[in-house]
Amino acid sequence: MTMRIRIAEPHDVAAIAAIYGHYVLHGLGTFELEPPGEAEMRRRFDIIKDGGFPYFVAEVDGRVAGYSYAGTYRPRPGYRFSLEDSIYVAPEHAGAGIGRALLERLLPACEAIGCRQLIAIIGDSGNTPSIALHEAMGFVHVGVLKSIGFKFGRWVDTVVMQRPLGAGDATLP
């Protein structure tokens, strides 16, 4: 397996939409119920890229096998130094280290644009691979929103994790 992490480009959106669509239909990492189409995913992609935020894809043997990005945590200006991450790996590549490679590339990119906190909002408290990945990369648990979502006929928790970037809150931005 030859893997490379690179900056996401508009031509990657179809593959990104396919990966995300799988998790909409089969997973609890997102609380969407219907997979967004390619046009909607392109709109979301453009918001991240136009905002100057990092967006990466992992290629395995020349094909997109996962993606990660960070975007605004909340739209109000007081949150402007905090971002929220998203990482999705194609199911056939789960457990191969792609998520870690994507997050390793994402962290310094978030620091480089002056952000100080990175938040992970992880769907499903049973999503141990995502929780373990974030823990391994320095995130700490800051809370669980119990039964905040409803999908596949059951209530689903959200795990909130946080990691300082650069100096974090030790200095002013």
- Is 170 among the domain residues? no
- Is 173 among the domain residues? no
For the chain, how many structural domains are there in total?
1
pLDDT of residue 1: 76
- Is 108 among the domain residues? yes
Indicate if the pLDDT at residue 13 is higher than 80.
yes
pLDDT of residue 132: 97
CATH number at residue 112: 3.40.630.30
- Is 19 among the domain residues? yes
- Is 49 among the domain residues? yes
Indicate if the pLDDT at residue 47 is higher than 80.
yes
The domain containing residue 80 runs over which residues? 3-164
Q: What is the 3-state secondary structure (H, E, C) of 100-120?
A: HHHHHHHHHHHHHCCCCEEEE
Provide the Cα torsion 117, 149, 127, 8; round to 10°.
-50
- Is 47 among the domain residues? yes
| Identity of residue 62 | G
pLDDT, tens only, 50-108: 999 999 999 999 999 999 999 999 999 999 999 999 999 999 999 999 999 999 999 99
| Identity of residue 17 | A
The pTM is what?
0.96
Indicate if the pLDDT at residue 138 is higher than 80.
yes
CA–CA separation, 72 and 111 (whole Å) = 14
Per the CB < 8 A criterion, the answer to whether 138 and 93 are in contact is no
